[in-house]
DNA sequence: GTCATAATGACATTAATAATGTCAACTATC
DNA sequence: GATAGTTGACATTATTAATGTCATTATGAC
């Protein structure tokens, strides 16, 4: 099979891969009270600290109105708390509660353990190379899709 | 960065990759009268020949009721035609019309050209290795997600 | 051939995810 | 202070897909 065909297959594998990953993540969330989208909020806050809703939206590349819903859910469940925002009185910072921090740390750690187990069959170089290719392909597709007509 | 972290990133890239790919495919379909899901039907029929709706559903791993809708759209647009099914009188084979065959061939060819252009930066080995990794990761995630509790 | 069971197309309902629209309150900038 | 932009809140719409139901018709065992 030539390179173009292989790339074609790689691109079309993105959907099955994503679906399998989502199913796996979802499975890891059972009995935690979290949904996949709430998890995304917590992960963002763990990685980058407390921030207002519009910033979460920008980083996740999702509409802020939708992120607002996601954040509201995490607030209602007590995984996040609002903190005064020195830079904006109307838009509080959303930060992890102790409960939320512990939970998301636990979850991501378990996911990482899974990845470690899954990497058994590959070399570091293979995996790193695969990531580079996927990154590059994604970037190129994005520029193509976004071109002016 | 260690292997597990790299794999983790690779898995999480599946969503951006898929979204970029879909946007690109959609862009290629403008003015063809096709939608992405109709395209999926035509591609299946081009690759594997005429088949009844339930078989398309099985191969696409989608509910047959939903595939029925997709197929009905392609029939309404004249991209597919019903043919008598010797193995089942109630469930006709769905096959490509001349128009549909020409269209899907044209579309996939253009997509393949795009892939060829995109492969410029990588070696055959890199791309092939990336596909192997993605395949294996997807398969492992699927088994994990499907395990009994 | 008859009958039980399964497959099929058709249609309806529900759900999840996300985009879009709107607005009043508020903030920042000039 | 006037004006334009930001934000949270809420409503509406769209897309994609799963699920439920049912009458019709095949299929397969006997």
Q: Is the CB of B35 under 7 A from strand D?
A: yes
Q: Which pLDDT score is estimated for B146?
A: 66
CATH of the domain at B94: 1.10.10.10
Q: What is the tally of structural domains in chain B?
A: 1
Contact A3 B138 (CB under 8 A): no
Q: Which pLDDT score is estimated for B149?
A: 36
Q: Name the minimum distance, in Å, from the CA of A99 to any CA of chain B.
A: 24
**54-73 of chain A touching strand C, CB 7 A cut-off:** 62-63, 65-66
Q: Which pLDDT score is estimated for B84?
A: 86
pLDDT(B148) > 70: no
Secondary structure (DSSP) of A65-125: HHHHHHHHHHHHTTSEEEE--TT-SSSPEEEE-HHHHHHHHHHHHHHHHHHHHHGGGS-HH
Is A136 inside a domain boundary?
A: no
Contact A4 B119 (CB under 8 A): yes
The contacts of residue B45 (CB under 8 Å, 6+ apart) are B51, B56, B80, B94, B95, B96, B100, B104
DSSP H helical segments within B49-123, as ranges? Answer: 53-60, 64-76, 98-118
Higher pLDDT, B89 or B140: B140
pLDDT digits (tens, 9 = 90+) for A72-120: 999 999 999 999 887 777 789 999 999 999 999 999 999 999 999 999 8
Q: Which pLDDT score is estimated for A147?
A: 58
The contacts of residue A23 (CB under 8 Å, 6+ apart) are B141, B142, B145, B146
Q: Is the CB of A19 under 7 A from strand C?
A: no
Å: B83 CA to D17 C1'? 28
The helix (H) or strand (E) run that includes residue B81 is: strand B80-83
Token pair, residue B138, equals 């997807």
pLDDT(A131) > 60: yes
Report the pLDDT averaged over residues B7-22: 94
Q: Which pLDDT score is estimated for A143?
A: 86
**118-147 of chain B touching strand D, CB 7 A cut-off:** none
Q: Which pLDDT score is estimated for B89?
A: 76
Q: Which pLDDT score is estimated for A88?
A: 79
Token pair, residue A28, equals 């890891």
Q: A47, exposed or middle or buried, with CB in 10 Å at 0-12, 13-18, 19+?
A: exposed
Is B141 inside a domain boundary?
A: no
DSSP-based three-state secondary structure for A147:
coil
pLDDT level of residue B128 (50, 70, 90 thresholds)? very high
Is A89 inside a domain boundary?
A: yes
pLDDT level of residue A149 (50, 70, 90 thresholds)? very low
Contacts by residues B114-117 (CB-CB < 8 Å, ≥ 24 positions apart): B114/A144, B114/B24, B114/B28, B115/A4, B115/A5, B115/A7, B115/A8, B115/A11, B116/A3, B116/A4
Nearest beta carbon to residue A20 from set B26, B133, B145: B145
Is B42 inside a domain boundary?
A: yes
Is A42 inside a domain boundary?
A: yes
DSSP-based three-state secondary structure for A51:
strand
Could you give the percent of chain A with pLDDT greater than 70?
A: 97
Q: Is the CB of A29 under 7 A from strand C?
A: no
Token pair, residue B145, equals 């997600």
pLDDT(B102) > 70: yes
Domain containing residue B82 = 3-115
Q: Which one, of A74, A60, A65, A59, lies nearest residue A29 by Cα?
A: A74
Check CB contact of A21 with chain B, cutoff 8 Å.
yes
Q: Which pLDDT score is estimated for A117?
A: 92
- DSSP letter (8 states) at residue B80: E
Å: A92 CA to D18 C1'? 38
Is A15 inside a domain boundary?
A: no
**44-63 of chain B touching strand D, CB 7 A cut-off:** 62-63
Q: Which pLDDT score is estimated for B90?
A: 79
Mean pLDDT score of chain B = 91
C-alpha span between B46 and B113 (Å, rounded) = 18
Report the pLDDT averaged over residues A57-70: 93
C-alpha span between A65 and A53 (Å, rounded) = 9
CB A64 within 8 A of CB A57: yes
Check CB contact of B144 with chain A, cutoff 8 Å.
yes
Strand C nucleotides with an atom less than 7 Å from a protein beta carbon: 7-12, 17-22, 25-28
Q: Which one, of B40, B52, B35, lies nearest residue B91 by Cα?
A: B52
Contact B115 A5 (CB under 8 A): yes
Report the pLDDT averaged over residues B18-35: 91
Q: Which pLDDT score is estimated for A87?
A: 77
Task: Collect all residues of chain A within an 8 Å Cβ-Cβ radius of residue B119.
Answer: 3-4, 7
pLDDT digits (tens, 9 = 90+) for B43-97: 999 999 999 999 999 999 999 999 999 999 999 999 999 998 877 777 899 999 9
The contacts of residue B146 (CB under 8 Å, 6+ apart) are A23
Secondary structure (H, E, C), B9-48: HHHHCHHHHHHHHHHHHHHHHCCCCCCHHHHHHHHHHHHH
């Amino acid at each position: 099979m030539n390179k173009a065909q292989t790339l074609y297959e790689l691109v079309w594998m993105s959907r099955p891969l994503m679906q399998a990953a989502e199913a796996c993540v979802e499975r890891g969330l059972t009995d935690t009270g979290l949904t996949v989208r709430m998890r995304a909020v917590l992960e963002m806050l763990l990685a980058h600290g407390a921030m207002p809703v519009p910033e979460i939206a920008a980083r996740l590349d999702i509409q802020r109105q939708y992120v607002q819903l996601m954040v509201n859910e995490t607030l209602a469940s007590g995984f996040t708390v609002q903190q005064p925002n020195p830079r904006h009185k109307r838009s509080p910072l959303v930060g992890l509660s102790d409960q939320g921090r512990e939970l998301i740390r636990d979850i991501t750690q378990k996911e990482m353990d899974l990845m470690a187990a899954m990497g058994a069959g590959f070399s570091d170089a293979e995996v790193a190379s695969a990531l580079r290719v996927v990154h590059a392909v994604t970037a190129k597709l994005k520029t193509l899709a976004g071109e002016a007509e």
